[in-house]
Structure 1
Amino acid sequence: MRPPIPENNEARLEALASYGILDTPVEADFDEFTALAARVCGTPVSVITFIDRDRQWFKSEVGQKEGETPLETSFCAHAILEDGDFCLVPDARRDPRFLDNPLVMSDPGLRFYAGAILRDAQGFALGTLCVADMKPRMLQDFQRQALRLMAKNIVQMLEIRRQAEQFRQISRKLNAELNLRKEILGIVSHDLRAPLAAIQLVNHVAAREVGRDRTPPKELLEDLVEVLEDTMGDMHRLIGDLSDYSMSECGTLPMQFADCRPGAVVEGVQRRFKLASEHLGVSLVVEDATNGASGLKADAQRLSQALGNLVGNALNYTAKGGKITLTARIHPDAVEFHVQDTGCGIQPDNLGRIFDPHWTSGEFEGSRGLGLEITRGIVYSHKGTLAVESKPGEGSTFTILLPIATEEAA
C-alpha cells in the first residue's frame, strides 16, 4: 500500500529543504554511518534515506545503488509516520503495509527492515538510517540503540552543516555591507570633489575681481551666485543621498519622477559647468534639438547629476582648446542624450571596465569610475541604456537613451 502523507508534510518538506542535503554528492561522512550500521546489525543493506515529496532519495547506500525510488515502494515513508524514533518490521510478508509491495513480492524479496528515524530538533521526521535483509530476523537491544545513536549523530551533523552555511551567509552579508560602506566613502570623496572644486573656482574668480579694485560686472556676479547655488544644492543632495544609498540593498538611489523638458536639463548642466569649462579653456556647447518639447517622465535632478558626471569626466580628460558637446534629441519613443568630447579617448581594452567602481586605469591614475557607476545606476532606474564609443586620441561619446514612457521601477 502507498504510504499515507504526513499531516505536517508541507512544514516537514520545508524543514528538509532547509538542510540543503537533497541531490548532493556522495560523502565519506555519511558512508561511514551506513557501513557501520550494516556491520553492527549484520545486514547486507544499509541506507540513509530522505523522504521528499514524491520520492525517497538515498544519501548513502550499502548493498544497493538505487539513488532514489518512488514513494509507492518505500518502507522509510511508512517509518517516518511512527510516533517514536524507531520502526521495526521483522517479516514484511506478515505486515499488511507491505504485502503487495513489489520489493517484498520479488524473489528474493525484502523481508526484514529496521529504521532509526532522522528527527530534527523541531520534531520533523526527515528520513531514516535503515538496515534491511532478505530474510526475517530481529535486532538485539544494543543494535537498536546503536542505530538510534547513529541517527542522532546524522541529524546533528546536518544541523552543524546548516548552521555553518548560515554563518557563511551572514559573513557574506557583513562583507557586502563593509564593501558598501567603502563604496559610500568613495562616493563622498568622488562627488564632493566636483562641488568643492566649483567653490574654489568661484573663490578664485572673486579674489581676482577684488584685486582689480573695481566693481565686478553684474553678469559675472550673477554667474557666480548661480554656480554657488547649484553647487550647494548638489552638496545637500549628496548628503541626503548617503543615508538612502547605505540602506539600499542594491545601491539604487531613490528617484522622484515627473514630467520634464530634456532641453532644460542640458541647459542646466551647461550653466553648472560654465565657469569650470572656461577656466580650463574647454568649449562647452549645448545642441538642443528638442524644440522645447517635454513628455519625458524622469527625475530631472538625477538626470542632471548623471549628465553632470559625464561632463565632469570629459573636462578631466579634455585638453585646453578642446570641445565638449552636450546634445539632447527626441525620437518617437525615446529621448537621446550625448556627451561628446575631443579628449584623449579610452583604450579599446578598457571600454568594458570603465563602469567598474573598483577599477583604476594606469592611463588615468586615480580614476575610480564611481561617477560612471552612479550614472549607470541613475540611467537604469529610468529603464534606459548607457553606451560609450571612443577612439584613443580623438575623444569619447557617451550616449544615454531613455524611453519616453519611463516610469519608476517597481
Structure 2
Amino acid sequence: MIKPEIPKNESVRLKALKNLGIVDSKAEKEFDDLASLAAYICDVPIALISFLEEERQWFKSTIGINFCDTTREVSFCAHAINQPQELMIVEDARKDPRFAKNPLTLSTEQPVIFYAGMPLTDKNGNSLGTLCVIDHQPRILNDRQKIALKTITNQVINLLEIRSKNNNLKAIEKELRLRNELLKDFAGVVSHDMKMPLTNMIITADILKEKYSNQLDDKGKEYLQYMKQSSFSLSDYISKILTYYESDKLSDQKHNESFDIHHLLEEIVDLFNIQEDCDINFPDENIELNCNRVALEQILLNLIGNSLKYNDKKKIEISINCHQDDSFYYFTVTDNGMGIPENKQKEIFKLFSTVTQLDRNGNKGNGIGLSTVKKLIMNLGGDIEVNSNVGEKTSFSFSIKKSNE
C-alpha cells in the first residue's frame, strides 16, 4: 500500500474545509440525492460524498455503507484530491500498487475493488473531498458515465457554495439581531435617562418666565420659549425612536382583541384635541375588527397626525376608509394636504428619511413616524403604499392580516 501524498496547499485546503463548516454536519437530502444519482448512473452499489480532514476521511453522504468515516491514510479519495480537476479511476484495486494491500481492498465483507472519484474543488482550487462511486468487483465506466459523474460533482460543488452562503447569511442575521437588541436596550436607557433632564428644562423655562417676567425683555422671553420648544421637540424625537425599536413587541399577535373601527377612531381624534377647521370622515361601515388594537392605533395615530401636520389648506379634510375580505383588513387615510413629491414617495418609509418641506407649524419632521408605521404593518403581515399629488392630496393605503384565532 502506498500512502497518499499531502497536497502542496494542505494548510490552505484544511482552512477552507474548516470555514465551510460541513464536517460532522447532519445528513441533508440534497446531497444524498446526488450521491444516489451517481450510484444509479454508474450502476454501482456504493456512492459517497467525502471530505478529507488532517487525519480523517468523513462522509457527508453514504449510499451502500453504514459507517461515516475512515482514516485518511487508507483513503482512496486522499489520492484523488491530488489531481483537483481530474477524475481518478481505479478499475481493479488489487492490481494497483497504491491499493493492492490497502485494508479496504483486502476487506472480506465489502472490498473496494473498483473506485472512481471526482474531486470537490472550490473556486480557489482547494480540493476538499470527492464524489466517488465504488464496487466490490472490477468495472469500467463508459464515456457517458464519466461525463455524468463530473456533472453531478459540479452540482455537489454548487450545493456547497449555496450552503456556505446560507450559513454566512445566518451568521450575519444572528449578528444583526444581537446588535438590534443591544440598540433597543441602548435606546431604552438613553430615552429614560434623557427624558427627566428634558422635563426639568421645560419646567425651568416656565419658572424663569413666570418668576422673572418683569426683568426679561422680549428677546429673553423668546429664548426661553425657544428652549422650551426645543426640549419638547427632542422629547418627542426620543419617544418616537423608542416606539420604533419597541414596534416588534407592539405588533405581537398575542395582543389581538375585538373592537369596532369607529370607536377606535373616536378615541384617536380626541387625543389630537384639534383646534383647526377640520373634517374627519369615518368609514361608512362600522366594521368589527379582530387584530392588534394597540399596533393599529399607533399606525393610525401617525398617519392621521401627518394629515393634520402636513396640511396647508384653511380647512383640513381627512377621509378614512376600511373594508375587509377573508384574509385581510384594508385601510386608507386620505387628506387634502401638501402632498409628497413623486421622487420622495419611495424614501419616506426609510428610518430618518424626511421630505424637505416644513409642516403646518414650520417644523421639520424627524423621519421616524412612517418608518415605524411600515415596520408595524409588515410585522402584522400586511403592506403599505402611498399615492400623492403635490398641493392636492396624499393617500396612504395599508393592509393588516386577520388573526388566525
What TM-score results when the alignment is normalised by the length of structure 1?
0.48
TM-score by length of 2: 0.49
